[in-house]
Structure 1
Amino acid sequence: MGWQLEEYGSSHEGRAGAVLPDGSEPKPVYIDSGSGANAHSTSEWWAYDGTLGAPKADRVRGSCSCGWRGTSLYPLDWSQVDDADPDDFDLSGPHRDWRLHLADVESRSVPLPVGLADLLERLEQQLSALADDAPLAALKAVAALERTTHRVGRVAAYAAEADEIPWSVVGKALGLAEEDARSRITHYSIRR
């Protein structure tokens, strides 16, 4: 099961990655679902238990969809893995390393001005309270906020495009993969 933060979505989806005894990362394995020619591929750490032709991992590490791989390796004791529920295995080390990776991504992204970050936090608190007390008023406020953010987003997207900022820079600034950064700019560029 992957780890994800809403802010980064699939650009930085983390997971525990299997590591083979020679230090390499195994290729995806195919799991026969029992329905004929259909086989499901996976790179989940628990699939590398040495059964059904899969290689046997002896360690795990944090990994991210952006290509980042943790340098700390954590022993994988298969006698401690519950076949019925491998998610019960302690993956706190790889998860902690992935969270540190996200902190690094955040530190390299464009910071929000402090006053704006505080305002956004207060706005969320007020809207959450309003959703509890007056849900229809909260929906009306959210709709107004969506219109505002889309107008401002369109202006910002046009300005970023006019400045011809390289997609690699845009991605780093937003903490996203280039493709996701392009998608975000396009989303705001489209008139509604």
Structure 2
Amino acid sequence: MGWQREGFETHVGEVGVLLADGSEPGPVYFDLGSGSHFHESTDWWVYDGSLRRPTATSMRGKCACGWRGEGTYPIDWEQVDRRDRDAYDTAGPLKDWEAHLDDVAARTVSLPDDVEGLLRTLRERLDELVDDAPLVVLKAAGKLETLAADYGSIAARYITGDAVALPEVAEALGTTEKAASSRLAHYTYLNHR
């Protein structure tokens, strides 16, 4: 599942590993029996050297966006409980990833305080209603989709019309260039006015 922060869906983090030579290994493949499908994993704990797998010597934070933490933390395989891998201390890589997300968030465009407040209030109110009045919440969701289609489309056309560079759009939104491009395309063609 990885580490996640609301609003930064393209920045899923996890523990990455390094081999003794400093390289990052590729996925480990598992043959689960007959068939042409092989399960693959990049979970840090599969690089324990067993069954001819590579042996990781250190771990670091990594993010789905391509970021890799500079800090490395040694892995003591004698201390890794094979039955409870989550008990092993991975706080260093997590802290590094959180710092990466703080940096990403600091470079995003800020919402005006009143808009941020309205969104927070709306979320809280819908959370109160969802159990007892799901039809009301569904109706509100439809109205929100209409607003998003209307204003997202206008904003996307302004951005593309002004030829804002994709890296700038991605940074402002706190996402990857691929996701920013997809969002722009989605809203550009969602609602033509």
TM over 0.5: yes
Which stretch of structure 1 is more off in the superposition, 133-142 or 105-114? Answer: 133-142
After superposition, give the CA deviation of every residue in 1:47-101 in whole Å (9 maximum; x if it has no partner).
Answer: 1111122221121110111221112222212122232342332222211211110
| Cross-structure match for 1:81 | 80
Name the counterpart of 1:47. 46
- After superposition, the C-alpha distances for 1:117-143 in whole angstroms (9 at most, x for unaligned) are 112111111121222443222221221
1:90 matched to 2:118? The reply is no
Structure 2 match to 1:18: 17
* 2:56 counterpart residue number: 57
| One-letter amino acid of the counterpart of residue 161, structure 1 | T
Letter in 2 for 1:26: P
Cα distance in 2 for partners of 1:67, 1:136 equals 41
CA positional deviation for 1:36? 4.4
Return 5+ residue gaps in structure 2 as ranges.
none
1:165 corresponds to which residue?
164
Cα separation, partners in 2 of 1:71 and 1:29, compared to 1, 3 Å: same
Tell me: CA distance 1:162–1:18, structure 2 relative to 1, closer, same or farther (3 Å): same
The letter of the residue matching 2:5 is L
Q: Percent identity?
A: 47
Aligned-partner Cα distance in 2 for 1:46–1:17: 10
Aligned to 1:5: 5
Equivalent residues, number: 191
**What's the TM-score once normalised by structure 1's chain length?**
0.90
How many Å separate the matches in 2 of 1:116 and 1:94? Answer: 34
Distance 1:35 1:6, change over 3 A: farther
Please report the RMSD computed on the Cα atoms of aligned residues, expressed in angstroms. 1.8
Q: Structure 1: which 5+ runs fail to align?
A: none
